Amino acid sequence: MVFGAGGFLGARICALLADRGIEYRGLSRTRSEPFRRCDLTSMHPYALDTQIGMYKPTVIVNAVGATLGEPADLVGANVIAVAALLNSVRDNAGHARFVQLGSAAEYGAGQHGTSLDEQTPPRPLGPYGITKLAGSELVLRAQRAGWDAVVLRIFDVIGPGAPESTLTGRVIRDLRSRQLIEVGSLDVWRDFVDVRDVAEAVLAVALADGKLPPVLNVGTGRATLARDVAGQLFERSGQPARIVDDDQTALGAAWQQADITLIGETLGWSPKVALDQSLADSWSESV
C-alpha cells in the first residue's frame, strides 16, 4: 500500500510498481484515479483500519508529507499522519514492512565539502525539517520496539513533474509564464537526485529480504550549486528571462551532500539518472 500516491514521489513509485507488474494499492488525499481517497490527517481511525485490514499489505510506503504551509499544516501531514498510520498498521498489519519517506532536511546543514551519513546527528533548521524528523522518530521508535521499519532520508528530489515547491519546479514555472524568475538564495549546495532513482530505491527497500538498517540515505553523493541548476534550465529554455534571487531568503542549509555508501552496500542501489538528463527531461515534459 502506497499512501500519498497522488503526490510527486508517490505517483512515481506507483508507476514503477505497475511497470514491474507488482500488485499494489495507492491511496491519496485527493480524489485522483486510479487511487482510493484517504486523508490520514482527518479520516476516522476505523476507516483507516478498514482499509488496511481489507488489503493485509506486506509493505506500507508512507509518501504523505507537506513541505510548505503553516506550522499546523506541517505537523498534520508530517507528524499526525505518521502517528495515525503507525497506530493502524500496529493493529491490522503488524507483519508489514513500514517504509517512511523522510527528508535530508532532518539533518540540517553539513560542513562544506563533507557528506552526511546515517550516523549524523539530526539538527533540522526550520519547521519542515523539525516536523519531518518528528515523524521519522515515531517510525524509528517503532523499529526499536521490533517493527520491520525503515526511514529513507531523501535528498533534494528533481525530475519530470517536479512541483513548484521544488527549485526546478519553480524555475520551470517562471520560465514558462514570465520573463522574471524569482527564487530564494541560489548560493546553496544541494544533492539533487532524480525522482526515478528515488522510486527505484523505495522499491529496492520494499522488496529486500531480511532486516534492514533503520535509516538509509537516498541521494547521489554529489552536491551541486543551486545557481548552476537554475542556470542550466535557463540556458536550456532559450527564453529571454532574468534570474533574480534573494540573498535574504535562504533555501535552508547552505550545504548538503549525501553519503550513500550504506544503501549501496545493503541493497546494491545507486543513482542512474545524471543531473543533465534529469533537467533535460524535466524541461521536455513541461513543454
Q: Is 128 part of the annotated catalytic residue set? A: yes
For residue 77, what is the DSSP state? I
Catalytic residue among 24, 46, 55, 128: 128
Q: Is the peptide bond before 34 cis (omega within 30 degrees of 0)?
A: yes
Give all strands (DSSP E) within the chain, no chain letters: 2-3, 26-28, 36-37, 59-62, 97-103, 149-154, 156-158, 180-183, 189-190, 192-194, 215-218, 224-225, 242-245
Q: How many residues does the chain have?
A: 287
DSSP label at 111? Answer: P
Query: How many CA atoms within 13 Å lie on the side-chain side of 70?
Result: 2
Alpha-carbon distance of 137 to 28, in angstroms, equals: 23
Residues carrying an active site annotation: 128
